[in-house]
């Protein structure tokens, strides 16, 4: 805003302060005391910095994070969460919510590259494009600023940031495994069966045969060493074994994002051990059980009472109308999306497998059952045995990994 005229009686604030106020207001703080506490803490330098990097994304995970409430975003930003402690974390870069833009925003990335923001946790939202393809025609998919007239791609920036990141957290299915952006197109621009941008996530997608950034870029080697169990992890910018964690979903749940970030921040400070991960690099305390195991409709499944049409207004099991719960892992149908409310099967929608590698290709059509015929009569022991056999065969077929020939180079 301009300088203004002090004699007019109005309040004069700088443009930067105005943007800060607008950003804070957009987070919908519950009361004036929260606003005052945030203002008082904003200038405090956190002991752990957080760089949230957006690639090919829709910002759905950012919105989800803002909706989180256990802890909420404000508690994490200003250190109000008792587990994290005051001043523990400072979000220094997030394109969507930071007040700076342009060169002023990129200055934080330069500082991180130079080691001035150590230690920092690097968060990825969105997938990476295959820039080598675009470069063949003198173009690019994703650029963040220029240096000496040369456009710097987002991929290059992320590779620079990887060098000193003490941990990487991939948030959302796109960041984890490529997600919707990596969907294979069978005709048109990408008739070779790849996505239009050749998208890939940070981790491998073993179900679609897509190599992740963790295997493509040498800067990711310390994180590859960690997920392959080749070394004891250390949260240090110079360690050759640094933790990397996946929080998949489309989008990921806000509470899951904030809890895992809080966990990693405590681990960076040496106050907590790293979370135990499953075969797809997800924290087991969130993704350890299938959606089916935790579904509030499980009693109807056990009774053999299945919904007939996707839009029926009943609480029957959704397996026969396409639910992928038996081969997917997440707890949100049990605990709800926010404050016990929401979650696909709780509200009548089928699980579509969005927390899994292979999504969405290996889970489509969403409203077609797993590759299995209709369920037998479960009123008899023979029927129950046949049902179990069908589910086992369907799950085994559904998560079959691609052949070596199918894997992208």
Percent of the chain with pLDDT over 90: 53
Cα distance between residue 182 and residue 202, in whole Å: 12
| Claim to verify: residue 59 and residue 162 sit in the same structural domain | yes
CATH assignment of the domain containing 178: 3.40.50.700
Strand partners, 168: 122, 244
Taking 3-state DSSP, the helix, strand and coil percentages for the chain, each rounded to the nearest 5, stand at 40, 15, 50
pLDDT digits (tens, 9 = 90+) for 143-201: 999 999 899 999 999 999 999 999 999 999 999 999 999 998 765 444 455 788 999 99
Which tokens belong to 54? Answer: 């957006």
pLDDT digits (tens, 9 = 90+) for 16-47: 555 554 544 444 334 434 433 443 343 334 57
Which tokens belong to 217? Answer: 């870029």
Give me the residue label for tokens 């081969």.
327
| Claim to verify: residue 283 and residue 157 sit in the same structural domain | yes
Sign of CA dihedral 105, 106, 109, 111: negative
Q: Based on the structure, what is the number of domains in the chain?
A: 2
Any domain includes 408 = no
| Claim to verify: residue 274 and residue 313 sit in the same structural domain | no
> Of 270, 287, 304, which one is at a domain's C-terminal end?
287
| Claim to verify: residue 235 and residue 335 sit in the same structural domain | no
Which tokens belong to 139? Answer: 């173009």
pLDDT digits (tens, 9 = 90+) for 365-407: 999 987 644 444 545 555 545 554 544 544 444 555 444 444 4
| Claim to verify: residue 82 and residue 207 sit in the same structural domain | yes
Give the CA-trace dihedral at 264, 269, 270, 274, to 10 degrees. Answer: 0
Collapse the DSSP code of 47 into the 3-class scheme (helix H, G, I; strand E, B; otherwise coil) and give the result.
Answer: coil
Q: What is the CA radius of gyration of the chain?
A: 23
Cα distance between residue 274 and residue 291, in whole Å: 24
Number of H helices, E strands in the chain: 15, 7
Q: How far is CA 127 from CA 35, 140, 141, 298, in A?
A: 34, 15, 12, 34
CA neighbor of 125 nearest in space, from 176, 171, 179: 171
């Amino acid at each position: 805003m301009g300088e203004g005229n002090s004699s007019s009686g109005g309040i004069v604030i700088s443009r930067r302060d105005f943007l800060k106020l607008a950003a804070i207001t957009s987070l919908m703080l519950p009361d004036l005391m929260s606003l005052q506490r945030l203002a008082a803490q904003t200038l405090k330098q956190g002991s752990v910095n957080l760089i949230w990097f957006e690639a090919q994304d829709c910002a759905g995970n950012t919105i989800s994070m803002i909706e989180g409430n256990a802890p909420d975003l404000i508690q994490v930003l200003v250190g109000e969460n008792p587990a994290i402690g005051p001043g523990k974390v400072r979000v220094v870069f997030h394109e969507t919510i930071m007040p700076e833009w342009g060169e002023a925003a990129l200055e934080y990335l330069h500082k991180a590259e130079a080691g001035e923001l150590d230690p920092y946790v690097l968060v990825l939202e969105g997938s990476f494009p295959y820039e080598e393809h675009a470069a063949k025609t003198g173009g690019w998919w994703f650029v963040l600023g220029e240096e000496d007239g040369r456009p710097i791609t987002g991929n290059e920036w992320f590779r620079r940031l990887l060098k000193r990141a003490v941990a990487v957290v991939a948030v959302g299915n796109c960041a984890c495994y490529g997600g919707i952006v990596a969907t294979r197109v069978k005709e048109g621009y990408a008739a070779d069966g790849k996505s239009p941008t050749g998208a890939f996530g940070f981790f491998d997608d073993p179900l679609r045969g897509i190599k992740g950034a963790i295997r493509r870029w040498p800067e990711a080697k310390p994180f590859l060493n960690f997920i392959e169990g080749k070394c004891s992890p250390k949260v240090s910018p110079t360690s050759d074994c640094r933790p990397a964690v996946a929080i998949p979903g489309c989008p990921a749940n806000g509470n899951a994002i904030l809890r895992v970030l809080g966990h990693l921040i405590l681990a960076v400070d040496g106050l907590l051990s790293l979370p135990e991960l499953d075969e797809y690099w997800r924290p087991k305390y969130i993704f350890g059980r299938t959606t089916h195991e935790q579904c509030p409709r499980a009693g109807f499944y056990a009774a053999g009472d299945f919904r007939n049409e996707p839009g029926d207004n009943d609480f029957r099991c959704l397996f026969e109308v396409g639910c992928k719960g038996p081969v997917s892992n997440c707890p949100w149908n049990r605990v709800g999306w926010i404050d016990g409310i929401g979650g696909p099967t709780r509200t009548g929608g089928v699980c579509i497998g969005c927390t899994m590698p292979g999504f969405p290709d290996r889970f489509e059509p969403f409203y077609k059952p797993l590759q299995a015929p209709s369920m037998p009569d479960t009123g008899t022991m023979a029927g129950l045995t046949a049902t179990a056999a069908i589910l086992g065969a369907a799950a085994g077929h559904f998560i079959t990994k691609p052949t070596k020939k199918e894997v992208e180079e």
